[in-house]
Structure 1
Amino acid sequence: MPIGELFLGAFLQVLFDRLASPQLLNLARREGIDKLLKKWEKRLKKIDRLLDDAEDKQLTGNAEVESWLEDLRNLAYDIDDLLDEFATKSAENESKAEPGCSTARSLLPSCCFKMSPRAFMFDREMRFKIEEMDQRLKGIITLKDGLNLKENGGQRSAHGRLDTTSLPEACFVSRVDEKREILKLLTAEESAYLKVIPIVGMGGVGKTALAQQVYNDARVTKCFDVKAWACVSDVFDLLAVTKKILETVPGHLSCEGKGLNWLQEKLKEHLAGKKFLVVLDDIWNENYNNWTILLKPFQCGAKGSKIVITTRNFRVAEIARAPPYTLKVLPGKACLTLFALHALGVENFDQHPDLEEYGLKIVEKCQGLPLAVKTLAGLLSFKVSRQEWEDVLNSKIWDPQEGSNDILPALKLSYLHLPSNLRRCFAYCSIFPKDYEIERDELIHWWIAEGLLGGKEGKNRWNTGLKFFNELVSRSLLQKSSSSESLFLMHDLVNDLAKSVAGATHFSSGELEGDQTNASFARHASFIPTDYIAPERFKIYRRMGGLRSFISLRKQSGDDERSCLSQEVLCDLLLALKHLRVLSLSYYYISEVPDCIGRLRHLRHLNLSYTDIETLPMSIAALSNLEWLVLRGCDRLIKLPEGMEKLINLRFLDITDTPKLGAIPHIGNLEGLEMLSNFVVGTENGSGLKELKNLNNLREELCISDLHMVQEAKDANDACLHTKEGLCRLTMRWTEDFAGFRNEELEAKVLDFLRPHRNLENLVIFYYGGLQFPSWLGSPSHVNIVCLRLHGCRRAEALPSLGQLSSLKELYIEGLNAVVRVGPDFYGSNSPFPSLVTLEFKDMPLWEDWIVPS
């Protein structure tokens, strides 16, 4: 079932945010096109109100509407690209203006300035593109008028969601342990008057079937005075839900025309003093106030009363303030039994052994979802022809774009209940192939680079992305992988749902190789490399001229073997993809990056981790929109090119595990930098410690290397580490060579001046050469330090008063060769180390005496 136009509606919100941006409106006003952009916004908002009706017509096979929606989707992306290009070029022209002119110019019309021939060409080119977009939008408006589409105020329907009943499934398979555990919760003696038991799991996993089984169990019936079942479904209507419950309890009252107050009073009368069980099936409500109002009549029951809720959303369980019971997918053997029951009316294939192989393969595709198993088995009900079973196995029913089964509609509600910003993020996940382990932090970076998290900046964007990711997990659309805490998976049918939502705009590697019909519509694409990348592998991608993301994923084998990619092939690809915002090419034998990368003016995220590059081309400095530069594990990287300070939008520079990389000149000009994994101290102009002074947005982790290169202690003071309140983890590293000259006095002053902010939680000091540690290291003001490591500080003669660090849990002291005695100064008070869990001393050859306070 195609539901991609719901995603289109979500993407239009991105355009509305951009068109309403004050920065863009100021630029548009300067160029005299602000009224035109306002007109675009008005027209697009009117179209947005027609999308639901357009989708309904598309579902009935209206080819004209389908074509219109396709044109609208492509136009929306092209307008967004145009606005980004407009903002980028205007910002570049602004930066080239003479100092002091930018403010004045913003107050005057563009006609007051003499334009250079280059600027005039830019103006003419942009105006041509704007006129082209305007004509396309007018054409879409004209076509819309002939489609008889109706406005609906932006309401999205669930397309025929059916109520469930309390009657149990005739063919209920397995779930013996789960049923026993729920029965135990229901029949246990309770001191509380009311207990809520949430059963949580993804759509189609069998939550309702399990609830029906326990609801009708004789032990439950015996345990409760009153039972009631209500299917809540996607619309949480307090009046309707209360009415449903009241109608199922004894008394058979007529509830027609009654208000909520009357209904709740009557329900309270029926439940007063009775031990009751109420099942609320398929709850989506996330409003705490609605939940508390619903519970009012239930407060008068007898002790041990229970409410069972089934939901796909862990957030619902949180609102109910009850620990969730998570229902997992059905084991493969149980799925095969369930399939046989619905297809053949028996529990096995003994009478039809020739069909078992097909049954196994069909069940494998259902990935443990009982609803999917029953739906597919229903298509083969009492059909015993091998050809018919083979036809189902090989049918387009498995294609989420063309299938007419009930698998995706059952999951569609999960998508319909996502806010528009979450819909965009979920659709982006369609670039991942099935069974691919998704790295959380990486995905959030891509969301940010694609502008899917709104207009928030800095740490707020990261926190928003983390919140969105956790929301998708809580709604059972993403699941934790068993292999790592940071890796996540999508169930195969959820992956199908994402692909159905995204349609041709998102391309997953290997799924359409060779079929280039819809390649030009793709905006986001993944690629799974082989050992050697032949030019033919990229042929389909070169047809994706509007592509925004090109992401090379890890090989499915899970190894870190690199792939061979020639510079010529890479350059041909980059020249074809001029609208890229995300380019990720990690684990490649790439020794040189083509100069043409500087043409990717929309680029926000560039990942060249674990490649063989020694430097980057000078053209990198032209990427004025670049926010993320990831060079992790580039062990041959020697230097970054001149002009890096021009990347004024750079927020994230990951140069972890780049041992040969020297100092980066003038990095202090990048005042927006939030992540700098390693700062290498240099001696040349613009590479000293004082470059850290203005980097007050740094957060999370920072390593300062080659501190022995500091020439003046004043530079350390100018670094102003005490103002970097976002830093949680800090590493300071001197050279481990103590054979050469080491200025003990200078190093002591440097470390003293490098006093961090009190928010610091983790501190590591390597190979410090001073004789004493600074007083701040043991100061109670650094109350937040949880982990401290002193390593290889061979000349330090005494330990600081670390007992004063009240939050310190882990302390590692290694290679302090000159320490002879550990005494009272180390503890510092009568109640030292109140939080310490781990204390490790290692490689202390001169240590003779340890005085422990009594």
Structure 2
Amino acid sequence: MAIGEILLSAFLQVLFEKLASLGLDYAQKKGRQPFSGINIDLLNKWKKMLVTINVVLDDAEDKQLSGKGQVKLWLDDVRDLAYDMEDLLDDFAIEATQAKSEAKSSTSKSLVKWKFCFFSQYNSSVSNPSPRLLMSKAEVQKIDDRLEEIITRKAHLSLTENVVDRFDNTNKRLPSTSLPKSRFLGREKEEAEILELLTGEAENGDTTLSIVSIVGMGGVGKTALAQRLYNDARVSSCFERRAWICVSDVFDILDITKTILRSFTGFSNEGEDLNTLQVKLKESLSSKKFLVVLDDVWNENYGEWTTLIKPFEAGAKGSKIIVTTRNRTVVSITGALSYPLEELSLENCVSLLAFHALGTTNFERHPDLEIIGKEIAVKCKGSPLAAKVLGGLLRDKGNPDEWEAILNNKMWDLPMRENDEVLRVLKLSYVHLPSYLKRCFVYCAVFPKDYEIERDELVLFWIVEGFLDGQKGKENILKLGRTHFDELVSKSFLQQSSVDTSKFSMHDLLNDLAKSIAGGTCFNFGENQLASNEDDASLEKVRYASFTSLWSVTSKSMRVYHRMKVLRSLMLLHDRYSWDDKFHISNKVLHDLLTELKYLRVFSLCHCSIVEVPNCIGDLKHLRYLNFSYTDIERLPESIVVLCRLQALILRGCQKLSMLPQGITKLVSLQFLDIRNTGSLKEMPQALVI
């Protein structure tokens, strides 16, 4: 059930505001045509057409949720047009910025101060004599023709207009919420039994290693239980060595072995083969009592499993492996002692729902909500994740009528496959997210499962992608983004890492939801996958993409990204367990990739061994976010100083970086400069020094 188009109303609001801004700019020029191929009449026409589309979105989304294929195709085309129109309007904005800069530099030599927000103590002054770009009339006409065609098709879909204009409601904020504390209910019996097994003195005399499997459906709380056990002080004091590994879909023995070894020894083992790593792991575990958690295992290959655990036989008696899985076949091949997690009781579901909605585990202080709350808890089908997310949805709703509206929502009546009830709850919660949060949440689909990210890193992505545009002015934009982030955490759409509290991730099912919403606009790929879809025409519509690498990025692995001509975000991510190592990409591979992606707004390349940044980076006029953290770069090319839209330049941990470009003050939009932990940076351009 695709629901990606539900975020279109928030997207159209951004376009509406950009059209208004462009129209104002036109008016200020007193009738002169500021951009090639466009005039005030065309701007007004486009604005009216967007309003015409906007007022039928409610009905269109309802119809496509019910399986109306033609409506779904129409909404897909509206989405693609909205992206292309925004790219075109951004081209106009870039042209305007460059024209103003040229005019200013020709009439005055004065310097304008600008601020860094939180990463640096330096201020700067700017001038930006970058060349103007003239827009093609053909591009404007193409957008106009597509808008006309979409309006014509709309008339044949019998869509009903919404009586309330969404533009009037898009940015109404809900009351601020505090982050909820974790609450663990209904697993006391299983927790006590496994805790006794982990820490008890009685041992099986016939075996050194014991394997415990926590098994159950998605969202039932397997990982949460494993985390409580792993972090329990009695458990940590009982084992000499511990390691936690998120396995997920790809069961890579080399990767898992390397991660466990690093957790035990703290040393990097880059480039070593599996045999060498397993010998080292065996030596590290020799006569040591250890605990390893393998979270979210799907592998059904017995041979791969036995190969993985072979070094563990060297451990001391009492060593344990905990496996969490949805797949009962995994339990069979591991020979594990199984602890199945069944659905929560209704009583516990009610308590968990109440805790996340009201901050208390009962309805004693809210008797008017008790009956409705219990009926909603029934819909959770015993899933703790569903109870948490629904509770987060109700967190800002104190009126019984609002709770009734959730209980009676038509989504409960839509047909679902068996075992998909939790996904229904998550979809319902997404539909009821405030519109200003929807694009922020869906953007997280660009990250692979189990990927952990810092709050401010994600907030910067939202800022530079324009998701907070239209909400500025009332408060600092970074503070606003952090508030959005905290709201998603309070609603359980994001969760704090139990291993590194400075980082956050999404539950696998919520990651699946975000990807289903993003649809063909999002693409994830890794070096362990095969690019079987290189010739897929849908790649040409991808806007957000990531590539996860452990060792190197090759031209072959990047070939699929060359097809993504309208790509906005590209993140080359290092394997999340190998931060001490660096992966490799040649300058040629990087150059060839960047020359294909002219609409790129976000480019992130961290923990890579590159020493040089290609000059072609300066050709990416739409670029707003550039991250080379923890790379070996020694300098940045002067070509970056023409990037008039660049808002964030992240150079954290670039130990070999000796200086910044002298022309960096020409980056008129730069707000965030991160130069933490750059030990070789001896001097700053004069204009940056206070």
Does TM-score exceed 0.5, indicating one fold?
A: yes
Letter of the structure 2 residue corresponding to residue 546 of structure 1? V
CA distance in 1, matches of 2:653, 2:589: 23
Calculate the aligned-residue CA RMSD, in Å.
Answer: 3.8
How far residue 406 of structure 1 moved from its aligned partner, in angstroms, is 3.3
Letter of the structure 2 residue corresponding to residue 541 of structure 1? Y
CA displacement 1:792-825 (0-9 Å, x = unmatched): xxxxxxxxxxxxxxxxxxxxxxxxxxxxxxxxxx
How far residue 438 of structure 1 moved from its aligned partner, in angstroms, is 2.2
Call closer, same or farther: CA 1:530–1:209 in 2, change over 3 Å.
Answer: closer
How far residue 143 of structure 1 moved from its aligned partner, in angstroms, is 1.7
CA displacement 1:592-612 (0-9 Å, x = unmatched): 111111111111110011112
CA contact (8 A) 1:551 1:583 kept: yes
Residue number among 410, 419, 429 corresponding to 2:444 in the alignment? 429
CA displacement 1:474-513 (0-9 Å, x = unmatched): 1011111111122112111111111111111122234883
1:41 aligned counterpart, secondary structure: helix
Call closer, same or farther: CA 1:638–1:134 in 2, change over 3 Å.
Answer: same
- Superposition pairs of residues 598-613 of structure 1, within 5 angstroms: 598-613=618-633
Residue number among 453, 456, 460 corresponding to 1:441 in the alignment? 456
CA contact (8 A) 2:454 2:503 kept: yes
CA contact (8 A) 1:179 1:210 kept: no
Residue number among 133, 138, 160 corresponding to 1:128 in the alignment? 138
How far residue 530 of structure 1 moved from its aligned partner, in angstroms, is 2.9
CA contact (8 A) 2:389 2:429 kept: no
CA distance in 2, matches of 1:446, 1:483: 24
Letter of the structure 2 residue corresponding to residue 409 of structure 1? R
CA displacement 1:272-295 (0-9 Å, x = unmatched): xxxxxx955549xxxxxxxxxxxx
CA contact (8 A) 1:479 1:490 kept: yes
| Alignment of 1:65 onto 2:83 | no
Residue number among 174, 181, 186 corresponding to 1:175 in the alignment? 186
CA displacement 1:609-661 (0-9 Å, x = unmatched): 11121111111111011111111121221222231111121111112222222
| Alignment of 1:626 onto 2:646 | yes
Letter of the structure 2 residue corresponding to residue 45 of structure 1? V
Call closer, same or farther: CA 1:204–1:143 in 2, change over 3 Å.
Answer: farther
Call closer, same or farther: CA 1:94–1:497 in 2, change over 3 Å.
Answer: same
Letter of the structure 1 residue corresponding to residue 504 of structure 2? F
How far residue 212 of structure 1 moved from its aligned partner, in angstroms, is 4.0
| Alignment of 1:312 onto 2:322 | no
CA contact (8 A) 1:13 1:420 kept: no
Call closer, same or farther: CA 1:646–1:81 in 2, change over 3 Å.
Answer: same
Call closer, same or farther: CA 1:148–1:446 in 2, change over 3 Å.
Answer: same
1:629 aligned counterpart, secondary structure: strand
How far residue 416 of structure 1 moved from its aligned partner, in angstroms, is 1.2
Residue number among 438, 460, 468 corresponding to 1:453 in the alignment? 468
CA contact (8 A) 2:541 2:566 kept: yes
CA distance in 1, matches of 2:94, 2:558: 28
Query: Which residue does the alignment assign to 1:550?
Result: 570
Query: Which residue does the alignment assign to 2:59?
Result: 53
Normalising by structure 2, we get a TM-score of: 0.60
Query: Which residue does the alignment assign to 2:20?
Result: 20
2:62 aligned counterpart, secondary structure: helix
Residue number among 523, 526, 531 corresponding to 1:513 in the alignment? 531
CA distance in 1, matches of 2:577, 2:423: 29
- Superposition pairs of residues 194-593 of structure 1, within 5 angstroms: 210-212=345-347, 281-282=375-376, 312-314=390-392, 405-455=420-470, 456=472, 460-510=476-526, 513-516=531-534, 517=536, 518-593=538-613
CA distance in 2, matches of 1:554, 1:215: 41
Query: Which residue does the alignment assign to 1:31?
Result: 33
CA contact (8 A) 2:550 2:574 kept: no
Call closer, same or farther: CA 1:634–1:310 in 2, change over 3 Å.
Answer: closer
CA contact (8 A) 1:567 1:590 kept: yes
Call closer, same or farther: CA 1:148–1:207 in 2, change over 3 Å.
Answer: farther
Query: Which residue does the alignment assign to 2:93?
Result: 87
How far residue 209 of structure 1 moved from its aligned partner, in angstroms, is 5.5
Query: Which residue does the alignment assign to 1:662?
Result: 682
| Alignment of 1:595 onto 2:595 | no
1:79 aligned counterpart, secondary structure: helix
Residue number among 66, 72, 75 corresponding to 2:81 in the alignment? 75
Call closer, same or farther: CA 1:177–1:96 in 2, change over 3 Å.
Answer: same
Query: Which residue does the alignment assign to 1:150?
Result: 160
Normalising by structure 1, we get a TM-score of: 0.49
CA distance in 1, matches of 2:394, 2:547: 37
How far residue 317 of structure 1 moved from its aligned partner, in angstroms, is 5.8
Bigger RCO of structures 1 and 2 (CA < 8 A, at least 6 apart): 2
Letter of the structure 2 residue corresponding to residue 6 of structure 1? I
CA contact (8 A) 1:19 1:25 kept: no
CA contact (8 A) 1:27 1:90 kept: no
CA contact (8 A) 1:629 1:652 kept: yes
Query: Which residue does the alignment assign to 2:126?
Result: none
CA contact (8 A) 1:438 1:489 kept: yes
CA distance in 1, matches of 2:426, 2:678: 45
CA contact (8 A) 1:602 1:625 kept: yes
- Superposition pairs of residues 723-802 of structure 1, within 5 angstroms: none
- Superposition pairs of residues 673-684 of structure 1, within 5 angstroms: none
CA distance in 2, matches of 1:536, 1:525: 16
CA contact (8 A) 1:436 1:556 kept: yes
CA contact (8 A) 2:545 2:569 kept: yes
Letter of the structure 1 residue corresponding to residue 421 of structure 2? D
CA distance in 2, matches of 1:594, 1:413: 45
How far residue 522 of structure 1 moved from its aligned partner, in angstroms, is 1.1
CA distance in 2, matches of 1:418, 1:611: 38
Call closer, same or farther: CA 1:514–1:179 in 2, change over 3 Å.
Answer: closer
Call closer, same or farther: CA 1:595–1:504 in 2, change over 3 Å.
Answer: same
CA contact (8 A) 1:203 1:411 kept: no
CA distance in 1, matches of 2:141, 2:519: 28
How far residue 572 of structure 1 moved from its aligned partner, in angstroms, is 1.0
Letter of the structure 2 residue corresponding to residue 150 of structure 1? T
CA contact (8 A) 1:179 1:214 kept: no
2:571 aligned counterpart, secondary structure: strand
Call closer, same or farther: CA 1:554–1:64 in 2, change over 3 Å.
Answer: same
CA displacement 1:437-477 (0-9 Å, x = unmatched): 12211111111110111242697111111111111111011
2:553 aligned counterpart, secondary structure: coil
CA distance in 2, matches of 1:642, 1:457: 31
User: Where do 4+ consecutive residues of structure 1 move more than 3 Å?
Assistant: 22-30, 59-63, 98-102, 153-156, 176-180, 202-216, 241-245, 278-283, 309-320, 510-513
2:427 aligned counterpart, secondary structure: helix
CA contact (8 A) 1:446 1:582 kept: yes
CA distance in 2, matches of 1:473, 1:528: 25
How far residue 155 of structure 1 moved from its aligned partner, in angstroms, is 9.4
**Larger Rg: 1 or 2?**
1
Query: Which residue does the alignment assign to 1:193?
Result: none
- Superposition pairs of residues 181-200 of structure 1, within 5 angstroms: none
Call closer, same or farther: CA 1:6–1:622 in 2, change over 3 Å.
Answer: same
